[in-house]
Amino acid sequence: MKRFSYALKQAFSQIHRNRNMSTASILAITAMLAILGIFFILMVNVNMMTANVEEQFDCVEIYLTDSMTEADGAALTEQIGGLPDVASAIYLSKADALEVMKTRWGDNAYLLDGLVSNPFPATIEVKATDIEKEAAMVEAIKTIENPGIEEIKYYQEEIDKIIKISEYIETGAIILIVVLILISMLVVSNTIKITVHAREDEILIMKYVGATNWFVRAPFLIEGIVIGFIASVLSTAIVGFAYYKCIDFFTPKFLAFFNSGLVPLEFIIYNLAIIFAALGICIGALGSILSMRKFLSA
Amino acid sequence: MIVFDNVTKYYDDKVAVEDLSMIIEDGEFVFLVGKSGAGKSTCIKLLLKEIEADEGTILVDEREVTGMPKRLVPKHRRKIGIVFQNFRLLPKKTVYENIAFAMNIVYASRRKIKPSVQEVLKLVGLEDKEKMYPDQLSEGEQQRVAIARAIVNKPTLLIADEPTGNLDPDTAWGIMELLQKINDAGTTIVMVTHAKDIVDRMEKRVIVIDDGIIVRDSKKGAYTEDEEI
């Protein structure tokens, strides 16, 4: 305990003594983590969107005209259900379609409450026994000549494209995240190196009078961890606030295009806080250990 | 007791010390003299285990230094105090803090540090300067602080690496009197020096090293052989 409190006191006095360098490192890591956070948010949202798109469009939707009765719709559903390669066919009335939309929009469902009339058509959702047989199944459905069928929506190509794009985004984000982590480590390591350099004499004397490597290292290690942690708190606040603003701005647009909003703020903040804290601490600790390694080997 | 038994150290292919043997008894005061690059500093570094001997054995207080595992080196160094030519005081710390800091390493409590620091400050004659910073002191006083720092943990051996090299003769002599006082209290002192007049005047054991070999070891020696007492 005495050892820890000594190291802690030393670490804080070091940070204070080198406050310009400490501030510079904190800002550099904060910027790095913030950029990293942007990629994280992008990745999470792309992932969610892809999953949503897959889930929503992994079936063929047959929109029915408003003139078709529910009984006719049910009969048509049954007919389609009997086609080869069809796994399931579910009939959704106009009211059902509105309900489904409300669930999908979640917290933002209130936006739908203002509608004067229900704009969603009655729909038959058809799923193929196998995703590869979807095209053949669609062809079979098209042969049914029923005036009640307004449109057959089949999105396979779009889904493939979206999945591909999301894969590119994910790979790119991961590469960038790794590069950013390495850069941050370099920044911390340089700060600590400068601190170590400034205290070269002190460390040398410490070693001469019999200080263990851990005695010398601990304050620097704590310094790195504190710098990393402060940067993580700052970047969580900055990115969290920016995302909060983005949600306000983008959610209505996203709902219109993708039928889903952005990933909720709480989820992002909670995860970012943990990821940033872990990364910040690791970057700080590793940065300081690396910068001291050469120094302590003597 | 310090024992060097047939110690050899190479730097790359160059021999720094060769087949060097010597015994320094507890409580002795020994001058290690010789030209620059003769091997004196190598001996000190070997003693502190800053470097590893290539051959031979070194013992300090019956404990083998050669082959000592790294984790035991700090403990070994706590038995040795060291004073440098350029004092190596920390400019941003006061006299008191400069000395107390050597005690922090052994995690001494503040209650223990204070009387110990005051005791050594009294010994080196600087009891009224504990709040001053190194640059407010004369060079002689700075070296006294460095000596106080070296002995505050009560080492059995004090190594002084040209402690008077930067000082005028009068101040240097004051430092020698202080070292003598420390030696009288029982601490073994090994002093590396080029100061002929000091060596001659002190009449202590002199070990002369040249090209890594002990060329002379005289009990009550002088700096040069023809002046031997």
- B93-123: pLDDT as tens digits: 899 999 998 888 877 888 889 999 999 999 9
The answer to which of A61-70, A154-163, B166-175 has the lowest mean pLDDT is A154-163
Give the 3-state secondary structure percentages of chain B, helix then strand then coil, rounded to 5. 35, 25, 40
Contact A83, A141 (CB under 8 A): yes
Residue in B50, B78, B88 nearest the CB of A210: B78
How does pLDDT run across B163-205, given as a tens digit for each residue? 998 899 999 999 999 999 999 999 999 999 988 899 999 999 9
pLDDT over 80 (residue A188): no
pLDDT of residue B229: 47
Residues 34-63 of B with CB under 8 A from A: 48, 50
Say which of A6, A204, A213 has its CB closest to residue B104.
Answer: A6
pLDDT band at A168 (very low <50, low <70, confident <90, very high): confident
Residue A196, pLDDT above cutoff 80 = no
Whether A173 shows a pLDDT value over 60: the answer reads yes
B64: Cβ–Cβ under 8 A, 6 or more apart, which residues?
B57, B58
> Residue A81, class by beta-carbon neighbours within 10 Å (0-12 exposed, 13-18 middle, 19+ buried)?
middle
CA atoms within 13 A on the CB side of A234: 19
- Residue A98 has what pLDDT? 84
Which of A141-145, A166-170, A253-257, B176-180 has the least mean pLDDT?
A253-257
What ipTM was reported for this prediction?
Answer: 0.78
- Place A131 in a pLDDT band, splitting at 50, 70 and 90: low
Distance of CA B191 to the CA centre of its chain: 6
Contact B77 A209 (CB under 8 A): yes
Measure the CA–CA gap between A39 and A172, rounded to whole angstroms.
Answer: 9
Q: Would you state the structure tokens that stand for residue A208, as one six-digit string?
A: 């001469």
The H-or-E segment that residue B214 falls in is strand B213-218
Mean pLDDT value of segment A162-179: 84
Structure confidence by residue, pLDDT tens digits, A254-279: 776 666 678 888 888 999 999 999 98
Q: Where does the pLDDT of residue A185 fall: very low under 50, low under 70, confident under 90, or very high at 90 and above?
A: confident
Chain B residues whose CB is inside 8 A of the A201 CB are 88, 90
Mean pLDDT of the B206-224 span: 88
**Alpha helix (H) residue ranges in chain A:** 2-17, 19-57, 70-81, 94-105, 110-113, 134-142, 156-198, 200-208, 213-258, 265-296
- Contact in structure between A100 and A56 (CB atoms under 8 Å): no
Residue A68 has pLDDT above 90, yes or no: no
Is the pLDDT confidence value at B227 over 60?
no
pLDDT of amino acid B28: 95
Better-scored residue on pLDDT, A259 or B220: B220
pLDDT at position B116: 94
For residue range A212-226, list pLDDT tens digits in order.
888 888 888 888 899
Average pLDDT over residues A133-156: 81
CB contact under 8 Å between A215 and B105, yes or no, is yes
Nearest chain B residue (CA) to A208? B77
A39 versus A252: the higher-pLDDT residue is A39
Q: What is the pLDDT of residue B155?
A: 92
- pLDDT over 80 at A73, yes or no: yes
Query: pLDDT > 90: what percent of chain A?
Result: 8
To test the contact with chain B by mutation, choose from A201, A203, A205 the residue with the greatest count of B C-beta atoms within 10 A, namely A205
Which DSSP string corresponds to A247-286?
A: HHHHHHHHHHHHSS-PPPHHHHHHHHHHHHHHHHHHHHHH
**Pairing mode of beta strands B2-11, B14-24:** antiparallel
Interface check for A256 against chain B (CB to CB < 8 A): the answer is no
A290 pLDDT more than 50: yes
Contacts of A206 in chain B (CB under 8 A): 101, 105
Is the CB of A2 inside 8 Å of chain B's CB atoms? yes
Q: Is A207 on the interface with B (CB under 8 A)?
A: yes
Give me the pLDDT at residue A260, please. 67
The two tokens of residue A105 are 């929009």
What is this structure's pTM?
0.67
pLDDT at A18 over 50: yes
Q: Is pLDDT at A20 greater than 60 in this prediction? A: yes
pLDDT(B150) > 70? yes
